[in-house]
Amino acid sequence: MKVCVLTLFPELFEPFWAHGIIRRAIQADKLAARTINIRDHAAGRHRVTDDRPYGGGCGMVMKPEPLTAALAVAKSGLTSATTLLLSPQGRCFDQAAAQALAASEALILVCGRYEGVDERFIDTHVDAEISIGDFVLTGGELGAMVVIDAVTRLIPGVLGNADSAGSDTFSDGLVEYAHYTRPATFNGQTVPAVLQSGNHAAIDQWRQETALMRTVLKRPDLLTKREFSAAERAILMKWRQDLDRLLG
């Protein structure tokens, strides 16, 4: 996958490209990543990229000319790219969106700043607006990194274990099952015996039940529209019977 980020602060991305899964993906030629400095495409001696909003109001608005010029450079090598604007008004980014974007050949992420971006640029050039949550940041750079990280780990061959992404939290609409590692006992707390049994069928059953239980306790909102599988219905019926016995 090819990724290009349009930003006023390209230096923020240098350490991002240089560590962890992103670095490994770049080294393995699974990800080609670059930044374009929007300011380099602004006119005049002072390279101004923002101006006062028409109609008055606080703050400044990013000008359409430098954004359009920077995007043209990005698209010159990425003709099939999807252009995304990081924006509080965008669709809330989630695992389903990450999975959809992971199928793209190329992505261009535009990082807004100040009070926002001139609407004419959005109307003409942006395919979709994306938000990483219902809060406001000083710019889109952190959001762009979140999107790139989530999408990159879904690219085939990026993760060491091919099953890792498929078992992630939210990949199947549930939070992930509980994890344990050595030592077997820590501060008086012991790893569940089933995980030490070597019985893979029992382990899978335990993980499925644990994931469902953790979702009920931590993110019940994920279950409101869920179509439960036969196995999940069996687990829920067992809980119901256990509760009925307790309630007498």
DSSP string, 6-43: EES-GGGGHHHHTSHHHHHHHHTTS-EEEEEEGGGG--
Kindly give the pairing relationship between strand 189-190 and strand 185-186.
antiparallel
In a domain, 95, yes or no: yes
From 88, 129, 176, 219, active-site residue: 88
Same domain, 38 and 88: yes
Choose the final residue of a domain: 98, 129, 152. 152
Q: Could you tell me the pLDDT band of residue 213, with boundaries at 50, 70 and 90?
A: very high
Q: What is the mean pLDDT of residues 78-99?
A: 96
In a domain, 15, yes or no: yes
Query: Looking at the predicted structure, is the pLDDT value of residue 141 above 80?
Result: yes
Count the Cβ atoms, other than its own, within 10 Å of residue 180: 13
Q: Residue 212 belongs to what domain range?
A: 185-247
129 is catalytic: no
In a domain, 180, yes or no: no
Q: Could you tell me the pLDDT band of residue 176, with boundaries at 50, 70 and 90?
A: very high
Distances (CA, A) of 28 to 66, 103, 141, 157, 159: 33, 18, 24, 9, 11
| Rounded-to-integer distance, Cα 166 and Cα 150, Å | 13
Same domain, 43 and 133: yes
pLDDT value at residue 164: 61
Q: Could you tell me the pLDDT band of residue 173, with boundaries at 50, 70 and 90?
A: confident
Q: What is the mean pLDDT of residues 49-71?
A: 96
Give the helix, strand, coil percentages of the chain, each rounded to 5: 45, 20, 40
From 24, 34, 39, 115, active-site residue: 115
pLDDT value at residue 167: 55
How many DSSP H helices and E strands does the chain contain?
8, 9
In a domain, 179, yes or no: no
Q: How many domains does the chain contain in total?
A: 2
168 is catalytic: yes
64 is catalytic: no
Same domain, 28 and 79: yes
Counting residues of the chain whose pLDDT is more than 70, the rounded percentage is 96
Query: pTM score > 0.95 for this model?
Result: no
pLDDT value at residue 163: 55
From 50, 113, 141, 153, active-site residue: 153
Specify the CATH number for the domain of residue 109. 3.40.1280.10
Choose the final residue of a domain: 127, 152, 177. 152
In a domain, 208, yes or no: yes
| Rounded-to-integer distance, Cα 1 and Cα 31, Å | 5
Q: What is the mean pLDDT of residues 213-222?
A: 95
220 is catalytic: no
Specify the CATH number for the domain of residue 226. 1.10.1270.20
From 40, 65, 168, 172, active-site residue: 168
Same domain, 97 and 199: no
Long-range CB pairs of 11-15, under 8 A, 24+ apart, other chains included: 12/141, 13/141, 13/145
Same domain, 140 and 202: no
Q: Could you tell me the pLDDT band of residue 171, with boundaries at 50, 70 and 90?
A: low
- For 187, residues 6+ apart whose C-beta sits below 8 A from its C-beta are none
